[in-house]
A and B are shown apart, each in its own frame.
Chain A
Amino acid sequence: MTLDSKVPGGPIAEKWDHHKFASKLVNPANKRKHTVIIVGTGLAGASAASSLGELGYQVLSFCIQDSPRRAHSIAAQGGINAAKNYQNDGDSVYRLFYDTVKGGDYRSREANVYRLAQISVNIIDQCVAQGVPFAREYGGLLDNRSFGGAQVSRTFYARGQTGQQLLLGAYQSMMRQVQRGNVKIFPRREMLDLVVIDGKARGIVVRNLVTGALETYAADAVILATGGYGTVFYLSTNAVNSNVTAAWRAHKRGALFANPCFTQIHPTCIPVSGEHQSKLTLMSESLRNDGRVWVPKNPGDTRRPESIPESERDYYLERKYPSFGNLVPRDVASRNAKQVCDDGRGVGETGLAVYLDFSDAIKRLGPDVIASRYGNLFQMYEKITGEDPYKVPMRIYPAVHYTMGGLWVDYNLMSTIPGLHVLGEANFSDHGSNRLGASALMQGLADGYFVIPYTLGHYIASTPLPKVSTDADPFKEALASTQERINRLLQVKGKRTIREFHRELGRVMWDYVGMSRNEAGLKTALERIPQLREEFWQNVSVPGSPDNLNQSLEHAGRVADYLEFAEVIALDALERRESCGGHFREESQTPDNEALRDDEHYSYVAAWEFTGVGKRPTLHKEPLVFEEVHPTQRSYK
């Protein structure tokens, strides 16, 4: 198989315009004759549903939650980037493009990133017109902040609830189409299989999570906007129902999975407090603007932080990176926290935390200024930990946050299965090996509002799509195999709970495929994962029945998929013998322990083809060519 990225020719700034013009159009009267399935109602799925509904397509929209408004995107806090240059501080489409390619450590596709930067400006206009209450300056214009170490202020925000407000904007637009009859919503449904007919994606199998019934739906095209797979690590900042199931089942039907090992670990999360922990809470990155990160100089120092004198503290980020200090990028901050904890200098009951200390900032600026900047966050921290960060330093630790990997898509956001399009975090396309802060929201909305309406139209207009019925054999086959898998899960009747397996898988992933990876560890993971999978299918206990609301069964299906998928993550990490972005291979570092890329051998997208459970997938490579931004080594010293 050769991977054709379908990147149009011509100068980078003109590619998207030319491509739009070259794309075929669907006659307005014909649009309503076409049905499109959209799985997922996060920023990507909801924006796609509303824009396609507006164009007149018949959209069927599915999600796991009880309402489309509750998709995981709702939790995004910090903001959304756009190259508006409203601050007159030197931003431009080209600079956002450049920053994103560089921030992704040169492992993304230039043409996609350029288009994203171009579209970013339209997103803000669209959201403002929907009534999204973005933060404003006193003069009434939109306010911006600088985010994630960017040197320009290009981040738009709505308090600490940007994801919520953007998602509600998209959800409301989508509900308007529901009222007009163009979009039908199917909440509390989980997609469990993709139906491929004559080589094209033509439908899905879902489980109705209320009745337990398996349902089939047919369409002319299928769009997956099912989010990321951070919960393969069990603990992450992701919502607890996040999963890889939809993407994985599509992968098993032929869609290649790209760069699965590229995961982002966020440096400032509230640390784990015990076995019972079900998820981790992110503390906004902005805290590092005023907080100082430190640990005791000496291993095993268990004194309370206030009793440790200045001379016995190690402000390790300031020491090692004098020019960036506490503001080094996410991956660098995370790895350093792990390192000091591995050295036995971690703090708190578990020793898996570092201090983020505001006492100097409070002395300098006063508690009121700090409260106005971080009041909400301090409150949230206190709610969870019972400690007051105005008085004691926060304890923070890195946590899995975002997955840059995802289903491989071409420039049209179409996977290797014709008709199957993948949007948002579920695809791999724009962030390379590291995503910049405030860029995921931008990508989700770009894909849904501004890219898919064009590329889907072209697909539909240029592809013969004879009517299919859910009575067709491929539907029956998919339905039967889904049913069979559910029955198998219920019949194991073993002794260990699903959560125990999930937690154990998470531990393997975190220890061997986490922040810092090496050949021996990855090989261990590749032994342990199949063992755990085997044990799961012999010893898991899934209570209840299939024909009813059964959350255990839902969780079991997701963990079963993770037990297959995790192996591909580990394999991808093993094969990529270089460090880049969020992927740190200990064998590939500079003399002072920074990530060392190997452009000569690894400047490609790794796209894996399914060959059977437990069988080695086939690796396909899409070479990455950099015509605009020339790869350099990152340095934050």
Chain B
Amino acid sequence: MATMTLKLQIWRQPGPSVPGRLVPYTAEGVSSDMSFLEMLDVVNEGLIAKGEDPIAFDSDCREGICGMCSLVVNGIPHGPERGTTVCQLHMRHFKDGETITIEPWRARAFPVVKDLIVDRSAFDRIIAAGGFVSINVGGAPDGNAIPIGKATADLAMDSAACIGCGACVAACKNASAHLFTSAKISHLALMPQGQVERQQRVVRMVEQMDAEGFGSCSNEGECEAVCPKEIPISNIARMVREYTRAVLTRR
């Protein structure tokens, strides 16, 4: 097993209203089998041993599904591996002696909480604005009452696979949340269960997205490129169509 020494430049920021800066660290004895976050765990163990404040970063599942981890590695949200969250990124993709810069998501709507941790509650508010089907528990018809073509279900699943990590926002020069919002709108617009509220849903979610201070979409495609679930930007086109139609037919 190869071990490496890495030079790290890590964003440290004590709190939301305090300015932050990049601080150099050295990570020694890094094994190629470690995940990126385990490498940071080891750096933190060293800091704690020296009585210093460890680096704060978010993670939970560490298997690429909860969407909690959120690091910009060498300028790329979730790092260089395509279709991979940073918790699933392994150190074998880095070289001994390499310098790695680690920063938080940067977007007006995602203020830094501390170090590499940001506040993504804006996403929750976008969902609360309409990202649901308004049915109560109790009266649902039989699960097989409405057949759904396999192709449609698969397409809806492609959009529903979004883990809400926010890498799309972090990658976009406008800090736009179009990919996130459109993934939910597409998922529900494709399913028959989402039809009843289709128009009001898209209008409300888009309005909320704008109100949160996310930027507009200028079709750069950076979001798709970093999305760990490889959610395509065709979702954005669908959202724009849905929105236009809803606004035009609004009474």
Contacts and interface: CB of A to CB of B under 8 A. Distances in A.
Given A131-B194, A133-B187, A175 B131 contact: yes
B41 interface: yes
Nearest to B38: A276
Contact of A75 (B38, B63, B92): B63
Q: Which 3 interchain pairs have the tightest Cβ spacing?
A: A140-B147, A172-B132, A129-B140
A65 B31 contact: no
B69 to A, nearest CB: 10
Interface string B75-88: 00000010010001
Which residue, of B60, B113, B136, B163, has the highest number of chain A Cβ atoms within 10 A?
B60
Interface in B33-87: 33-35, 37-39, 41-42, 45, 47-49, 51-54, 56, 58-68, 81, 84
Nearest to B162: A168
A543 B54 contact: yes
Contacts, number: 218
B128 A69 contact: no
Contacts of A158: 157, 160
Contacts of B137: 47, 50-51, 54, 126, 173, 449-450, 453
Interface stretch (A5-13, A247-255, A547-555): A547-555
Nearest to A210: B113
Contact of A278 (B38, B136, B143, B161): B38
B1 A386 contact: no
Contact of A240 (B1, B15, B59, B67): B59
Contacts of B149: 136, 140
Given A176-B128, A552-B54, 5 more contacts: A66-B58, A75-B61, A175-B132, A187-B121, A380-B64
Which residue, of B141, B153, B163, has the highest number of chain A Cβ atoms within 10 A?
B153
Contacts of B193: 128-131
B104 interface: no
7 contacts: A70-B164, A75-B65, A128-B193, A130-B132, A276-B31, A543-B48, A548-B15
A161 B161 contact: yes
B141 A125 contact: yes
B188 interface: yes
Nearest to A143: B150
Interface string A45-70: 00100110010000000000111111
B123 interface: yes
B135 interface: yes
A68 to B, nearest CB: 7
Interface residues of B, number: 79
Helix, strand, loop or mixed for chain B's interface? Answer: loop
A129 B133 contact: yes
Contacts of B163: 74, 164
B143 to A, nearest CB: 4
Contacts of B108: none
A140 B124 contact: no
Interface string A134-152: 1111111110000000000
Contacts of A125: 140-143
Given A129-B141, A133-B160, A548-B15, A67 B124 contact: yes
B134 interface: yes
A165 B65 contact: no
B128 A175 contact: yes
Which residue, of A70, A161, A187, A549, has the highest number of chain B Cβ atoms within 10 A?
A70
Contacts of B7: none
B105 to A, nearest CB: 12
Nearest to A76: B65
B153 A133 contact: yes
Contacts of B187: 131, 133
B142 to A, nearest CB: 6
Contacts of A449: 137
Interface string B156-170: 110011011000000
B191 interface: yes
Given A74-B65, A384-B88, A171 B49 contact: no
B129 interface: yes
Interface residues of A, number: 81
A451 B140 CA distance: 16
B148 interface: yes
Which residue, of A50, A67, A138, has the highest number of chain B Cβ atoms within 10 A?
A67
B157 A133 contact: yes
B75 to A, nearest CB: 21
B140 A122 contact: yes
Given A70-B67, A125-B140, A549-B56, A176 B124 contact: no
Contacts of B1: 274, 349
A172 B121 contact: no
A142 B52 CA distance: 55
B62 A240 contact: yes
A485 to B, nearest CB: 20
Contacts of B141: 125, 129
Contacts of B52: 543
Which residue, of A136, A185, A499, has the highest number of chain B Cβ atoms within 10 A?
A136
B127 A172 contact: yes
A126 B140 contact: yes
A94 interface: no
A131 B191 contact: yes
B98 interface: no
Contacts of B140: 122, 125-126, 128-129
Which residue, of A54, A164, A385, has the highest number of chain B Cβ atoms within 10 A?
A164
A356 B210 CA distance: 50
A413 B59 CA distance: 31
B121 A67 contact: yes
Interface string A222-265: 00000000000000000111000000000000000000000000
Contacts of B128: 175-176, 178-179
A392 to B, nearest CB: 16
Contacts of B14: 548
A390 to B, nearest CB: 18
Interface string A600-612: 0000000000000
B114 interface: yes
B113 A239 contact: no
A379 to B, nearest CB: 9
Contact of A276 (B41, B65, B84, B194): B41
Contacts of A541: 48-49, 51
Given A129-B140, A130-B133, A141 B147 contact: yes
A383 B88 contact: yes
Given A549-B113, A549-B117, A164 B62 contact: no
Contacts of A69: 67, 124, 127, 164
